[in-house]
Chains A and B, each alone.
Chain A
Amino acid sequence: MAAKDNVRESDIDKTSFWYGGLCNICHPGGGFGEFDRDGELYYDVRTSQFGYEKLGKTAADVRLDGDYAEINHMSGALRAAPWDITGVAEPDCLFCHRTERAVSDGKNMNWVWRTATLRSKDKLKDTGGASVPAYAAAATAGQGWFSAFALNSKVPAGKPPMATTLDIDYQPGVDNGSLKEDGAGSLRLDGASIVGSPKDYACWGCHLTPDLKKRGRSWFDESSDVHYAGFNNLNDADPTNDIAPGNSTACTQCHPAGLDHNIAKGNATVSSVRNDTDYAGLRTCRDCHLPGAEKHENAPTPTSDIHIDGHLEKMSCEMCHIPYKTRSAVFAIDNATTGNTIGYPAAALLSADPLDPTDPDKSRWYPSFKWKTDKDGERRLFPIKLLLSVWWGDWDDNGTPDDGHDDTITPIALWRVRQITGGSPIAGTVDDNGDGKPEVNRPEEILAYITAMKGDDSYGVPVATRPVLVKGGRVWFEVPGGGDVDSFDYHAEGVHTESSHPFSVNHNVLPTDQALGATGCIECHYGFAERPSPVFDRLIPISPFDETEDARPKYKTVRQMTFLSPF
């Protein structure tokens, strides 16, 4: 993200205005959608003032301000962020607290309408051609209170929708009963349209995409989620008590919230926002299933003798009860070859055979494991899905070439990478593995990119002084004197950087008879059978492509990654 204060255009990456139009599609407004880093409204419609003006600054003063500038991420052009046109995105209460949700063809239309409106930024018009304040209007559009709404048909499939036209009109709300006129001619939101505890559809709208990409999560599927089935009475013989997806509140059973709206969460393995609230109020597996004050009356207590002390002490419940996933996820992103993000799905790197990623059966994939602190303070193994990243950085050894601990590898903003690549692989880059995705992998290709990355961006600033490719746990650099590349293991050298990101896998608990160990110890402890264990010897991708002319993925076993080696 762009800093608040910058000295040149080339230092600016994504600004607050960019966040307002994109990140807000899955955040409920308020906060960074409304106020700048000085605490001022970006634009106050009551006084027709920008926030910086209230502090005595001028537009010239904030030309490079990360709150009031915007870099075009394709052209690199700088402009003043038009908060006066878009307005600000206020806290969107009804985004979560609306009783009725509009779902069509499997899409959460409240999310679609709101997202498309935000994404249009300052380009949104009504049918008469007048500008519509997109950020301010997103909450209204998200409720379906409009008579005309058109999407930009040029947005590629898989990208968030973008609106071109919005005619705000409250008549549809009156027609569906969410709004009603009072005697004074004003509109009132019908109290019955406000729900206290949000329904799952509210969470699903935003968490669908990231949870699918990062974790392969399924929603509203009783066959792959015992909790969704249980909380909605879908696993009994009585169909008359079934709760429909639209009324399900399974999410808040474990993730309740208080007045502070800090929705109960666990201990994320990626990101660290508000660690002070980790596990606060969260109902964990152990809370509900083990005897104790928080035991859920309907949650079965473990009875199998596989729950020996050693297992319970060192293993999370999820480790065995989320043994695999059936929906694909993104396992690697290559931001280096073109400067655009190229994704690698599960099928490209894994299979339903945990020991053979090339198996043609792609119906499921298996997680890796990572130690993390559980709610009771114990360190346990939890299932995770590693997301691998390939990216360009600018390496500064800070004058101590023999000591990696103080080195900095600064990520290069993708708009600047694209200024070098033009958004395509640079000449000579070959799709070695024939998967339809060219990859910068062979030493000569890496060297060609490094040379190119030393070139200038559109502001005459070198994109990098010492470009390096970060991939597969290694840093690829040009050897002193030039003409060749070499690499080092950044962990071994103490360099603080990363190319794998562990996303916790903590939903879609399967029925007991599908858990690891349901058919015996041998499911994990293959030492009995003198062959590889599908758990501890399963292959986990650590790089989407290696440096050879085959560009094959690289793997490690769970044994190698966790240093656990049970029989």
Chain B
Amino acid sequence: MRMWRQICLCSGIATLLAVAFVLEGCGGGSTTATPVEDPPDDPAPAFVHQDVVLRNRLGQPIALGSNEPYSPRTTCAGCHDFHTITNGYHFQQGRTDASGTIQMANDFFGDGRPWLKSDGMYGKW
């Protein structure tokens, strides 16, 4: 059976991308991803992302010839939920808890080790 989809996903991460693609104005580009037709014998869905305008720290588009660094936040956060994404433990390393609340404190574990300030690498001795 032939199926149409707007986006096919390789992982859970990509779900966010898929949702984002249908948001108007996303990335400053086209608002929807190009529909991709499933080849009948292709069991693995393909991942597709639209082109994204590269932006600087002020959110301005970057032109060729610029020597400003691009900003992942202004480039990507227009579509993606950076608050949720960056509360992942790879980003925070103990700075925040599951709810995103800053949890740093001397003697984090309350067991007489004031040099431990979180349960992650950011805050350890």
Contacts and interface: CB of A to CB of B under 8 A. Distances in A.
Interface of A: 1, 3-4, 13, 19, 23, 27-32, 34, 37-39, 45-46, 87, 90-94, 126, 133, 136-137, 139-140, 145, 167-171, 174, 179-182, 184-192, 194-198, 249, 252, 256-263, 271-277, 281, 406-408, 410-411, 496
B13 A257 contact: yes
Given A191-B49, A272-B119, 10 more contacts: A27-B90, A30-B91, A93-B75, A139-B72, A186-B53, A187-B63, A259-B13, A259-B84, A260-B87, A272-B120
B85 A259 contact: yes
B113 A261 contact: no
Given A31-B122, A167-B67, A277-B89, A90 B73 contact: yes
A32 B95 contact: yes
B83 to A, nearest CB: 10
A407 B112 CA distance: 8
Given A139-B69, A260-B87, A186 B62 contact: yes
Given A91-B91, A174-B64, A274-B120, A256 B73 contact: no
A503 to B, nearest CB: 14
B73 A273 contact: no
Contacts of A136: 57, 69, 71
Nearest to B104: A37
A316 B125 CA distance: 31
Contacts of B80: 93
A408 B112 contact: yes
Which secondary structure dominates where chain B touches chain A? loop
A512 B26 CA distance: 50
Nearest to A195: B47
Contacts of B106: 3
A482 B77 CA distance: 62
Nearest to B15: A259
A92 B58 CA distance: 16
B124 A1 contact: yes
B73 to A, nearest CB: 5
A411 B119 contact: no
Contacts of B63: 185-187
Contacts of A258: 12-13, 15
B125 A29 contact: no
Contacts of A273: 89, 93-94, 118-121
Contacts of B57: 45-46, 87, 136
Nearest to B45: A196
Which secondary structure dominates where chain A touches chain B? loop
Nearest to A185: B63
B61 A259 contact: no
A274 B119 contact: yes
15 contacts: A1-B115, A1-B123, A1-B125, A27-B91, A30-B82, A32-B93, A91-B82, A180-B51, A186-B62, A195-B47, A197-B47, A258-B12, A259-B12, A261-B90, A273-B120
Interface residues of B, number: 69
Given A45-B57, A167-B67, A411 B92 contact: no
Contacts of B70: 139-140, 145
A170 B57 CA distance: 16
A258 B16 CA distance: 9
Nearest to A168: B67
Contact of A91 (B62, B86, B98): B86
Interface of B: 9-17, 29, 47-54, 57-58, 61-73, 75-76, 80-82, 84-96, 98, 102, 104, 106, 111-115, 117-125
B54 A181 contact: no
The interface centre, meaning the residue of A45, A181, A191, A196 with most chain B CB atoms within 10 A of its CB, is A196
B72 A92 contact: yes
A179 B87 CA distance: 29
Contacts of A32: 92-93, 95, 122
B54 A45 contact: no
A333 to B, nearest CB: 13
Contact of B51 (A170, A190, A256, A408): A190
A563 B23 CA distance: 60
A408 B92 CA distance: 28
B64 A181 contact: yes
Contact of B10 (A45, A137, A196, A410): A196
B93 to A, nearest CB: 6
B94 A260 contact: no
Given A170-B66, A273-B119, A411-B115, A262 B17 contact: no
Contacts of B94: 273-274
B79 to A, nearest CB: 11
Contacts of B47: 195-197
The interface centre, meaning the residue of A45, A92, A93 with most chain B CB atoms within 10 A of its CB, is A93
A239 B43 CA distance: 21
A75 B75 CA distance: 40
A82 to B, nearest CB: 16
B53 to A, nearest CB: 6
A137 B66 CA distance: 13
B97 to A, nearest CB: 8
A28 B119 contact: no
B90 A263 contact: yes
A266 to B, nearest CB: 13
Contact of B86 (A3, A30, A196, A406): A30
A41 to B, nearest CB: 10
A188 B88 contact: no
